[in-house]
A and B are shown apart, each in its own frame.
Chain A
Amino acid sequence: MNFGFNEEQELLRNTARKFFENECGSDTVRRLMDTPEGISPELWKKLAEQGWLGLIYPDQYDGMGLGLVDLVVLMEEMGRAVAPGPYFSTVLLGGLAVLEAGGEGQKKEWLPKIAAGDKRVALAWMEPSAQLGPAGVTLTAVEKGGRYTLSGTKLFVHDAHTADALVVAARTRPGAGADGVSLFLLPKGTKGLEVTLLPTMDQTRKLCEVTCADVTVGADALLGAAGTGWAPLSRVLDRATVALCAEMCGGAQKVLDMTVEYAKIRQAFGRPIGSYQGVKHRAADMLVDVENSKSITYYAAWALDEGSPEAPLAVSMAKAYVSDAFRRVAAAGIQLHGGIGFTWEHDLHLYFKRAKGSEFTFGDATHHRERVAQLVNL
């Protein structure tokens, strides 16, 4: 057994940390989060040059062919930098959906372009009901003469406004079952496809509403066969969930680091506040939250890479744990900083808001605890 990272992974961590310190410091994050795009073409190109946009795609699609455990390292560093931009939505949602569900031609068309930084693909799956699971997919795709007409609304779609194409989960058979879910790949500008950018609490994460008003496309827009979309979609969501957990771990670690540094230098009543147990003990609790979050996230990534039958359970354990832990850590960070922690000037609020948004992305702790209960046959 070896529950640690190898040399290449440690090297990736060092490279990534330096990269984001240099290219995506707090000033850059603040500048980019104020733009509608949330990313600059230069930064996106640099991410591509590192090979990170194709990190988990196979070689034949110009990817690096690495696994989720490797990705976890990169995501932790992105989370540490509270990096904005469509990395998550393109590489882990849209691109991964093409990889998991698409035919060979679709993969060859899109994945090398994503890896090169030339194209972006978003994933539109959740709807205003905010219901997880196949029953939540109610946007209809009605077939007639080999063509499909899509009607309905998607919500909480990451970076749809800057994507070159959208993967849309639609219902091709009435009812609530998984066998009625199909995935369509719709290029930007498709007639009837409308994207609206929504104001978000976490400005580093751009969310959109996507409406399909009688969008009519050919069967070649399907990713995989009609009615087979749920299985690849849930594989994508499981992977993206673990990647999100890793990003949250990185953010939580950064909050802890900032808080410990501050507690060492900030004086009150003639001594550093970190010498008071009221502060010290809460910092210790933060450490436990951070370390545990990493443990279960790493395990879930490994289980997915190995195709372990326990992988879905591991994913839900991770999301349940990390959702609560990052929220606690981010809140404690603000509290232990006192007034300065409540200012716009200090970076803590970026992490606090990221924690809250991430908590409810791909299901909150309550949802995943129930999934754990089901998976262990409670």
Chain B
Amino acid sequence: MDFTLTPEQTSFRDEVRAWLSRNMQKDWVARLGQGSDIPRPEAYEMLRRWQREMYEAGFVGLTWPKEAGGRGLTFMEEMILQQEMALAKAPPVLNILAIGMAGPTIIAYGTDEQKKRYPPQMLSCEEIWCQGYSEPNAGSDLASLATRAEKDGEHYVINGQKVWTSLAHVADWMMLLARTDPSAPKHKGITYFLLDMKSPGVTVKPLKQLTGDAEFNEVYFDNVRVHESQILGGLNNGWAVGLTTLMYERLALGFGLQVRLRIALDGLVDLARGTKKNGVPVTQDPVMRQKLAQLWIDTEVFKYTGARAITKLLKGELPGPEASAGKMMWVEGHQRVQELAMEIQGPFNQLTHGSEWAVADGLWQHTFLRSRANSIEGGTTEIQRNIIGERVLGLPKG
């Protein structure tokens, strides 16, 4: 057991730290203020620039192979990078669905042509990706998806609808799961396509969320033609390919989630220090101290459980279903951070952006509302518990 960094890792950390201190987005930090995050829709352009700068400095796609445009480093360096980003309260990587999911899946399953074509543009954020998985009648039960892809010469013709598609309104490409063999059992007739979002017949309709923002969308396909060379991982093999993507999703997001929870917690502690209740800082209230300390502990515990998972990865084991536990922990922790922020603000929590009485310009109100999606997006908490119960503990399926 050893938590110390090697000299190489230390110099990598120093490199990251130095770069972040020189290139940190001051307007982001200023806007973040005493909040825990900034609504994505107001920051897309800035985040695009930010990822480009990080890419040029060599800090995107650390674990990707060099031929795919990455640096061929280990998850250790990825973890160091994420920790430094958390310390600096750095903005997140915008093209996360490409970096975390589409890219690794293409690297694993793609043809030489595909591997050459897509990954570099993902890293530089020149092409943003979205994930066409969920449908109105296929969410947790993803294999029930009904979007059809029918063969017509060298093309497939897509008809159907996706929903809850984050970033679709700014995306250039979609990871699309569609049914190519309706007669096969439901897991067997699905194919994974790489779809150009500018194709004729693709319609994106933003969905207004309960936050008032539109981060995600409905996507309609009306006779959209896709060339067969855009299939990833073989015809009717989409379920296996898609699951690979989800495995990487939980892994990639796992790193990022730890950072986001730490940033949110630090914001919460600042908020507590700066808020008075009955004339004394909230941090002096014994009940609040208990709640804050528990969140502090949970955030650290999350870090060390992650470190154990990374140790397995460094030993060459593949990411396993344990990642579901990390997702659940993050959700639980983050939702409690947001609830506690509301409690600390007391009656002021009713006021939002636009009122000079609003705390931190209403940022907490936004992140509080947004946090309700955490236990739904990326696999609901109920699904994560099923995965842990069935694939880690070996309990029988229902």
Residues of A bordering B, CB below 8 Å: 1-6, 69, 256, 260, 263-264, 271-272, 274-277, 279-281, 283-285, 287-288, 291-292, 294-296, 298-299, 301-302, 306, 317, 320-321, 366, 369-370, 372-373, 376, 378
Q: Do A296 and B293 have beta carbons less than 8 Å apart?
A: no
Bound-state CA distance A376–B315 (Å) is 33
Q: Nearest chain B CB to A136's CB is how many angstroms away? A: 19
Q: Mark B364-398, 1 if CB is under 8 A from A, else 0.
A: 00000000000000000010111011101111111
Q: Do A280 and B386 have beta carbons less than 8 Å apart?
A: yes
Q: Which B residues, 249 to 296, have Cβ-Cβ distances below 8 Å to chain A? A: 269, 272, 283, 286, 289-290, 292-294, 296
Say yes or no: A317-B3 contact (C-beta < 8 A), given A4-B308, A280-B386, A288-B328.
no
Q: Do A296 and B304 have beta carbons less than 8 Å apart?
A: yes
Residue of chain B at shortest CB distance from A271: B396
Say yes or no: A369-B293 contact (C-beta < 8 A), given A280-B389, A284-B389, A287-B325.
yes
Chain B residues, CB < 8 A from A276: 398
Q: Do A274 and B308 have beta carbons less than 8 Å apart?
A: no
Most B-side CB within 10 Å, residue of A6, A288, A298, A317 = A288
Say yes or no: A264-B3 contact (C-beta < 8 A), given A366-B290, A370-B289.
no
Residue of chain B at shortest CB distance from A277: B398
Other A-B contacts than A277-B398, A284-B325, A372-B296, 20 sampled, CB-CB below 8 A, are A1-B310, A1-B314, A3-B304, A260-B394, A275-B396, A280-B395, A281-B389, A283-B395, A284-B388, A291-B308, A291-B322, A296-B304, A298-B308, A302-B2, A317-B300, A320-B297, A366-B290, A369-B293, A370-B293, A373-B283
Q: Do B297 and A317 have beta carbons less than 8 Å apart?
A: yes
Q: Do A274 and B293 have beta carbons less than 8 Å apart?
A: no
Q: Do A1 and B76 have beta carbons less than 8 Å apart?
A: yes
Q: Do A284 and B2 have beta carbons less than 8 Å apart?
A: no
Q: Do A299 and B304 have beta carbons less than 8 Å apart?
A: yes
Bound-state CA distance A4–B304 (Å) is 11
B87: Cβ under 8 A from any A Cβ:
no
| 16 A–B pairs (Cβ distance < 8 Å), ordered by A | A272-B395, A275-B397, A276-B398, A277-B382, A277-B385, A277-B389, A283-B393, A284-B385, A295-B304, A296-B300, A296-B301, A317-B301, A321-B298, A373-B283, A378-B269, A378-B292
Q: Nearest chain B CB to A135's CB is how many angstroms away? A: 18
Bound-state CA distance A331–B256 (Å) is 33
B350: Cβ under 8 A from any A Cβ:
no
Q: Do B329 and A288 have beta carbons less than 8 Å apart?
A: yes
Say yes or no: A369-B290 contact (C-beta < 8 A), given A3-B308, A283-B393.
yes
Bound-state CA distance A78–B55 (Å) is 50
Bound-state CA distance A300–B122 (Å) is 40
Q: Do A370 and B305 have beta carbons less than 8 Å apart?
A: no
User: Chain A interface secondary structure, helix, strand, loop or mixed?
Assistant: helix
B23: Cβ under 8 A from any A Cβ:
no
Chain A residues, CB < 8 A from B293: 320, 369-370, 372-373, 376, 378
Say yes or no: A274-B389 contact (C-beta < 8 A), given A299-B304, A370-B290, A378-B289.
yes
Q: Do A263 and B395 have beta carbons less than 8 Å apart?
A: yes
Bound-state CA distance A42–B389 (Å) is 41
Q: Do A2 and B297 have beta carbons less than 8 Å apart?
A: no
Q: Do B1 and A2 have beta carbons less than 8 Å apart?
A: yes
Chain A residues, CB < 8 A from B310: 1, 3
B5: Cβ under 8 A from any A Cβ:
yes
B4: Cβ under 8 A from any A Cβ:
yes
Say yes or no: A1-B396 contact (C-beta < 8 A), given A295-B307, A366-B290.
no
Bound-state CA distance A279–B311 (Å) is 31
Bound-state CA distance A370–B287 (Å) is 10
Bound-state CA distance A376–B294 (Å) is 12
Cβ-defined partner of B297 (8 Å) among A6, A281, A294, A372: A372
Most A-side CB within 10 Å, residue of B312, B389, B394 = B389
Say yes or no: A264-B305 contact (C-beta < 8 A), given A284-B389, A296-B300, A369-B290.
no
Q: Which B residues, 303 to 348, have Cβ-Cβ distances below 8 Å to chain A? A: 304-305, 307-308, 310-312, 314-315, 322, 325, 328-329
Q: Do B329 and A287 have beta carbons less than 8 Å apart?
A: no
Chain A residues, CB < 8 A from B272: 378
Cβ-defined partner of B304 (8 Å) among A271, A283, A298: A298
Cβ-defined partner of A291 (8 Å) among B289, B305, B386, B395: B305
Residue of chain A at shortest CB distance from B328: A288
Bound-state CA distance A263–B397 (Å) is 12
Residue of chain B at shortest CB distance from A6: B1
Q: Do A3 and B269 have beta carbons less than 8 Å apart?
A: no
